[in-house]
Amino acid sequence: MDITEKLKLITRNAEEVVTEEELKQLLETKEKPKAYVGYEPSGEIHLGHMMTVQKLMDLQEAGFEVIVLLADIHAYLNEKGSFEEVAEIASYNKKVFIALGLDESKAKFVLGSEYQLSRDYILDVLKMARITTLNRARRSMDEVSRRKEDPMVSQMIYPLMQALDIAHLGVDLAVGGIDQRKIHMLARENLPRLGYNSPVCLHTPILVGLDGQKMSSSKGNYISVRDPPEEVERKIRKAYCPAGVIEDNPVIDIAKYHILPRFGKLVVERDAKFGGDVEYTSFEKLAEDFKSGSLHPLDLKISVAKYLNMLLEDARKRLGVSL
């Protein structure tokens, strides 16, 4: 795979790369660059998490060494549970990411607590605190904080640590959802002031929930790896999917970000009187037909549910999920 092909694969379905020129230079100068994503351990791994897992798989194919940070201390600071609870969930998360297709032989899983309590790391947190304003730290946490209106001091430490994770893990490329952008820009600006390199940053889109609103565990508007096939079908059939509308359409997003990258195609099975079966190998053609009305929302939903269950089937088996 040449550099042009690698760039196309790496940037596929990305919201932005900061910057593409730096990414190209990285590929030209480093044989085995490092990329990472940090995850707060979560009890339910859903399609939102799978966005970045898919991107890590793209990066593995492009020759990157991938680091998955299971950010147990970050989760504790963000009030996600006790250390014991978070540690148990982190172990489960590792199994899920591997079950979803991440190549374990090309990925390194790291717990934050393995290095974030070291003297050098803590000193760097204090140094970062001296060059970061409170307003900047708070703005950086706006998209990911559990307590936006009245944040705890611990949540101001969070973005400083996330920036330093990039340095202490020796990362060349930081990957995350677009909600991580402010923290990544803080890293790009302040890490060089502490003597570290500025990372290239790649951001994936944020999937909307199945109801067309922000995805939230409290609303249950997501599909989990542990959802049985019939539940996936039920949720997709009920999902917000207005005819002809592409933007903020969760069913369209699943086809674009999950089905087509994994399978290379999406076949919609229809009765002959409704035009017969149609195969899509590009998102552009699917979007065109949906906009024009030649692809009905229900037909799309049935096909997306079928492919999504195929995608999740192997993961369920590996996890020993009883269906």
- CB contact at 8 A, 270 and 278: yes
Higher pLDDT: 215 or 20? It is 20
DSSP 20-64: HHHHHHHHHH-SS-EEEEEE---SS-BHHHHHHHHHHHHHHHTT-
Residue 144 has pLDDT above 70, yes or no: no
What domains can you pick out in the chain, each with its CATH number? 3-204 (3.40.50.620), 229-319 (1.10.240.10)
CB 159 within 8 A of CB 186: yes
State the chain's mean pLDDT as an integer.
Answer: 92
> So what's the pLDDT on residue 244?
97
Lowest mean pLDDT among 18-32, 123-137, 239-253, 309-323: 309-323
With 80 as the cut, is the pLDDT of residue 146 above it? no
**What pLDDT, on the 0 to 100 scale, is given for residue 317?**
82
pLDDT score of 229: 94
How does pLDDT run across 81-133, given as a tens digit for each residue? 888 899 999 998 999 999 998 999 989 999 999 999 999 999 999 999 999 99
Q: Is 34 exposed, middle or buried (0-12, 13-18, 19+ CB in 10 A)?
A: buried
pLDDT in tens, 225-264: 989 999 999 999 999 999 999 999 999 999 999 999 999 9
Q: Give the integer Cα–Cα distance in Å for 173 and 26.
A: 9
Which residue in 296, 298, 263 sits closest to 280, CA to CA? 263
Model confidence at 143, in pLDDT bands (50, 70, 90)?
A: low
- Name residue, tokens 């049935």: 302
Question: How many Å apart are CA 198 and CA 200, to the nearest integer?
Answer: 7
Q: What is the pTM of this model?
A: 0.91
Rounded CA separation 104/318 (Å): 14
CA–CA gap between residue 35 and residue 127 (Å, rounded): 24
Tell me the percentage of the chain whose pLDDT exceeds 90: 77
